Chains A and B, each alone.
Chain A
Amino acid sequence: MYRYDEFDHALVRERVEEFSDQVARRASGALTEDEFKPLRLMNGVYLQLHAYMLRVAIPYGTFNSRQMRRLGHIARTYDKGYGHFTTRTNIQYNWPALTDLPAMLRDLAQVEMHAIQTSGNCIRNTTTDVFAGAADDEIEDPRPWCEIIRQWSTIHPEFSFLPRKFKIAVIGAEKDRAAIRTHDVGLQIVKGEDGGTAFRVFVGGGQGRLPHIAQEIASAVPAADLLAYLTAILRAWNLLGRRDNIHKARIKILVASVGLEAFREEVDKHYATLRHEDLRIPEDEAARIQAYFAPPAFETLPKTSGPFDRALLADPDFARFARNNVRRHRQAGYASVVVSLKPVGGVPGDITADQMDAVADLAERYSFDELRAAYEQNLVLPHVKLDEVPALWRALHDVGLATANADLATDVIACPGLDYCSLANARSIPVAQALSKRLADMDYQERLGPVRINMSGCINACGHHHVGHIGVLGVDRKGEEYYQITVGGSPDEQAALGDIVGKSLPADEVAPAIQRTLDRYLQIRADGERFIDTVRRVGPDPFRDAIYETLDATA
């Protein structure tokens, strides 16, 4: 994985010192909250319901055991002993004191981590396929390009005061495991006409109050011109985007209002100039970055593993884990293992400091010291020998991290909601927990197969409810929590926004209604159909009927 050079170290160190001074001036009263707010937001610090919140970047979700242990140390030393992984593959701490922030950031800097650009109107953490560099369907590892984007976008003077935040995701396979079409810009690595690396570019996606699925603006931008093309997009938006209305400032609104063709013309105008300037990525520089992401020293192994196969036969719980949480790997004899942060009744994305230490140890022992954070709020050990998956599973089991529900109905994405967030209208976590407990039967979940259920506590959609196969949005009805249900959303290469099925439900009706929806699917599915396939075939009506069949009084 990437290691800081002297420029990275200097930049992060200088930012820590600068922000430490700003914190000291705030604590002394020299800065008002209004003066401090834009400064803290540049450093990932929010003021939430109960405390300050620090959001720490995990660039493209890739980190190592030393960094994970440091995250655990921070949770233990400055917080309440846990952290929360987010849908941007970052980690949030919910309870830091203002005056501890400089020490936290210094501790992070020692392991090449920071909180820069995890909030504010700038280019946020670039996300990617959690199985990058491991998936067997990948054209090319997208992480070097994520790193190049990180270096280009970090404290970029032209893009530090954008109309709103800007999110980029990159994938290296046709299968979209990073929800790229829900991003301001989504990039898919393809082969260009000359056989070289190129990018299919989607623009204008986003969730929130006015959701849009991104549209294809370019089919194959040559890799060397990637930064020129991104700059052209950002520049076009920066010049034309609205700044008078926060709800209409995202690039999705601009693209929708002027139309894709007009926006493309604007981008091409800038690109025509920019691609001949010094933004071209030299081949040797791309190769230098790519070298950081060279595959680890895999052993030459047979495709199958005796210890793995014997464990499958010997232990039904392991077999279940293998069915649901173990993914194919490009290298024979290896697998990627999903570490679910969705235990029955747990808080989606939460992990204790002790669990962080345990996962760090396991990554070091079993996965070439590498860890991934998934936007679904889980972790992944990307490169595990099949022979060692049983031992890894037992170790995960010992620390409460072997829940075998990856991509199943209880693998719920949920934002912190009104339990923590000052923007939320309703709670998300208790609704997710109630659903998790209701659907806890693993046999039932496996009968259902993959289904993505996403929950947000407000229209800002941090819980990705628009693109959940089943989406749940918390709304406020005269001081009471209600929940709007959508069906048919999808975050992948067939990206779609869910249809609102009807009136919102009170909190305690959500889990039963979702179970009736899933039961209806079991009744009407055709052979081999996943939940989303059935929804696409029959539309939302049967599910609407199931949701409302026992309800007579809703808001």
Chain B
Amino acid sequence: MKIVTANRLSDGRVIYAGVDNQPVERIDQASVLDEATAEIVLAEVVGRPDVFVNPYAVEVEGHTPSGRDRLKEHIRSAGPTVGHSVAGGVG
């Protein structure tokens, strides 16, 4: 199964295609799609460059990234594993 992800144009944050292909920030809100549907959704969000930058599909099991890039996708979904960003801050 797959989910579709991208970075948001306005602030670069990680987003996913959720219900009705609306951008959502949490991976557990992403629509989990079969291969064929993922291609359709990907094509749809490619057509919305005002929101979705560099969209692509990610292999998942449930809402957990499972492909070769699973660690990278986990870090994208959860944030850096270390450092000041984890501690929070004003942002």
A residues in contact (CB < 8 Å) with B: 26-27, 29, 32-33, 47-52, 76, 79-82, 94-95, 97-99, 347, 350, 352, 418-420, 427, 429-430, 433, 476, 478-481
CA distance A361 to B82 in the complex (A): 28
Q: Is the CB of A430 within 8 A of B81?
A: yes
Q: Is the CB of B85 within 8 A of A49?
A: no
**Quick one: CB contact mask for B69-82 with A, threshold 8 Å, 1 for yes?**
11110011001111
Residues in chain A near residue B21, CB distance under 8 A = none
Q: A47-B54, A50-B14 are in contact. Are A81 and B90 (CB under 8 A)?
A: yes
Q: A350-B84, A429-B82 are in contact. Are A479 and B68 (CB under 8 A)?
A: yes
Residues in chain B near residue A29, CB distance under 8 A = 49-50
Q: A29-B49, A76-B90 are in contact. Are A427 and B81 (CB under 8 A)?
A: yes
How many B residues face the partner with a CB closer than 8 A? 30
CA distance A433 to B83 in the complex (A): 10
CA distance A52 to B76 in the complex (A): 13
Name B's interface SS.
loop
Can you sample 22 A-B contacts with CB below 8 Å? A26-B9, A33-B54, A48-B12, A49-B14, A50-B12, A50-B13, A50-B80, A51-B12, A80-B85, A80-B89, A80-B91, A81-B91, A82-B84, A95-B91, A98-B12, A99-B10, A418-B72, A419-B82, A419-B83, A433-B82, A476-B68, A478-B68
B25 to chain A, nearest CB (A): 11
Residues in chain A near residue B50, CB distance under 8 A = 29
CA distance A481 to B72 in the complex (A): 10
6 smallest CB-CB distances across A and B, nearest first, come from A80-B89, A81-B89, A80-B91, A97-B11, A419-B80, A51-B12
Most chain A C-beta atoms within 10 Å of own C-beta, residue among B10, B49, B91: B91
Cross-chain contact of A430 among B11, B76, B82 (Cβ < 8 A): B82
A45: nearest chain-B partner, CB-CB: B12
Q: Is the CB of A347 within 8 A of B76?
A: no
CA distance A81 to B90 in the complex (A): 6
**Quick one: CB contact mask for B49-70 with A, threshold 8 Å, 1 for yes?**
1100110000000000001111
B residues in contact (CB < 8 Å) with A: 7, 9-14, 49-50, 53-54, 67-72, 75-76, 79-85, 88-91
CA distance A171 to B85 in the complex (A): 36
CA distance A80 to B88 in the complex (A): 7
Q: A33-B49, A427-B81 are in contact. Are A51 and B13 (CB under 8 A)?
A: yes
CA distance A32 to B69 in the complex (A): 26
Residues in chain B near residue A82, CB distance under 8 A = 84, 89
Q: Is the CB of A419 within 8 A of B75?
A: yes
Residues in chain A near residue B10, CB distance under 8 A = 27, 97-99
A29 to chain B, nearest CB (A): 4
Residues in chain B near residue A76, CB distance under 8 A = 90
Residues in chain A near residue B68, CB distance under 8 A = 476, 478-479
CA distance A127 to B10 in the complex (A): 33
Residues in chain B near residue A81, CB distance under 8 A = 84, 89-91
CA distance A275 to B12 in the complex (A): 47
Q: Is the CB of B81 within 8 A of A419?
A: yes
Q: A94-B85, A419-B81 are in contact. Are A481 and B11 (CB under 8 A)?
A: no
Residues in chain B near residue A480, CB distance under 8 A = 71
A29: nearest chain-B partner, CB-CB: B50
B12 to chain A, nearest CB (A): 4
Residues in chain B near residue A51, CB distance under 8 A = 7, 11-13
A425: nearest chain-B partner, CB-CB: B72
Extra 17 A-B pairs, beta carbons < 8 Å, given A50-B80, A420-B80: A29-B49, A32-B49, A47-B54, A50-B12, A50-B13, A50-B14, A79-B90, A80-B89, A81-B90, A347-B83, A347-B84, A352-B84, A418-B71, A429-B80, A429-B83, A479-B69, A479-B70
B23 to chain A, nearest CB (A): 15
Q: Is the CB of A80 within 8 A of B90?
A: yes
CA distance A255 to B65 in the complex (A): 43
Q: Is the CB of A98 within 8 A of B9?
A: yes
Cross-chain contact of B84 among A47, A80, A97, A99 (Cβ < 8 A): A80
B47 to chain A, nearest CB (A): 12
